[in-house]
Every structure is written in C-alpha cells, then in structure tokens.
Amino acid sequence: MGEVVAAPRDLPATMQTFHAQEDGSSVYNSPLETEKDLCPKQGDAVPGFAGTCGLCSSANVLRLAGVDVGEKEVVEYAKANGLCEQGHWDPGSNGGTSAQGRQKILEHFGINSSVVPLAVDDNYEPTMANADIISDAVCSGKGVIISVHAHSLWYNDPHPINDLHAITVVSVKKVGDQVAGFYVNDTGVGGTQYYPATKLVGALSGNPINVTNQIIR
C-alpha cells in the first residue's frame, strides 16, 4: 500500500466560504475546482473490483482532508481487512461497502467519523429534513458520504432496484437560507454533478451517511 504523505486536516473551523452566483444564489466552496483533486471514475484501480463507489468516496474524503491516497490504496486496504464485498464473479459486485465499513476505512487513514442515521417519516422514508442535515455538515467543512438509489438519481426511476450507490457531497447551493441543491462527486458517472435538493433527497436509500467528526477543509 502507498505511503500516506500527510496527516488529515483537523481544523478549528472551515477554510471555505460561500460564493455569490449570477442567479442570486450562493455556493459553498468551488465544486468544479475541487473536482480536480478527486477520483473521477470508479473501477480502474484494481482488476476485478468495479463496484468501488464507497471506496472511491472514502478516498475522496481523505483527499479533501489533504491525504494523498487514491482508489487503489483504499481498495487494497479494504480487501485485506474484509471491509468490502469480494469474491464475486461479476467485477461490479466487488468493492461494495457499508457506512460502518467506510467509517473503519477512514479511521485507518486518520479520520474520525460518525455513522449518522437519516431523518425518516412514519413509513421510514427519508424526509426533506435531510437536506439541512447534509448541508450543515458540508458547510461546516466536514466530509460527507451518502447512499442513494442510482437509478432514481440518474434515470428518475420511481421504483429503484438493488442499485445502492455511494457518492461524496462536495458543495451546497443556497438561495437565502434555503438549501437549493447539492454538488456531488459521483464516480459512477464521472466527476461532479449538480442535483436539486428535492431530487437528491428523493434518491436517498435510507441507509445512514458518513460524516467526519473532524473539520477537514
């Protein structure tokens, strides 16, 4: 495994700010600039491991924290320690993670984090309160990984199949004090994508999210 060349940042407060946009909204950080430092697309680092969205998201949080690791180092660590799916004939089934597994991976590389349950209604469906939960974490400079139904997010499928997918939330767009949307790094489609808050929350799988306890940027 490659050497970790720097300890993760643990800041007293976020170094990032909101930037005013021409449409009157404001955006936290500079998501398209941030994209240059993150894993663009999953599944290219370790042969036979293509379902590495959660592992790439873990690497992205580490990179946001100033740690120079990539998909390969994280996949190799997860493989060796039973923290990802493996042994399947289909490469797309190898590399899957849970929020708890991602928490252990981040801990190994020096980041303390929490597994945070979503706000749900009486039918255990995620509510719009999650937009504020996710936004508050991102805008305080913490790393955030969420679990979504990929087909809901990508294709507006109202009846998701078994398509759980982890993505890194890198920025928030607000209109006044209201959360309008999120910029995410989605290694399933490559690079940074923007989604309105209602769409992103509607695609949440219901699984808990990863939030770093440390302020990393």
- pLDDT tens digits, one per residue of 136-151: 999 999 999 999 999 9
> Residue 162 belongs to what domain range?
19-212
Greater confidence (171 vs 4) lies with 171
Q: Does 4 map to a domain?
A: no
Q: Does 73 map to a domain?
A: yes
Confidence of residue 162 (pLDDT cuts 50, 70, 90): confident
Is 4's pLDDT higher than 90?
A: no
What is the chain written as a DSSP string?
A: -PPP-SPPP-BSS----EEE-TTS-EEES-HHHHGGGS--SSSSSSTT----HHHHHHHHHHHHTT----HHHHHHHHHHTT-S----SSGGGSS---HHHHHHHHHHTT--EEEEPPPB-TTSPBPTHHHHHHHHHHHTT--EEEEEEHHHHHH--SS--S-EEEEEEEEEEEETTEEEEEEEE-TTT-SEEEEEHHHHHHHB-S--EEEESSB--
Q: Does 5 map to a domain?
A: no
Q: Does 11 map to a domain?
A: no
Domain count, the chain: 1
pLDDT tens string 190-214: 989 999 999 999 999 999 999 999 9
pLDDT tens string 16-41: 999 999 999 999 999 989 999 999 89
Is 46's pLDDT higher than 70?
A: yes
What pLDDT is stored for residue 158 in this prediction? 75
Q: Does 162 map to a domain?
A: yes
Is 1's pLDDT higher than 50?
A: no
Q: Does 51 map to a domain?
A: yes
In the predicted model, what is the mean pLDDT of the chain? 94
Is 104's pLDDT higher than 80?
A: yes
Q: Does 139 map to a domain?
A: yes
What pLDDT is stored for residue 5 in this prediction? 55
Confidence of residue 160 (pLDDT cuts 50, 70, 90): low
Q: Which domain CATH number covers 111?
A: 3.90.70.10
Is 90's pLDDT higher than 50?
A: yes
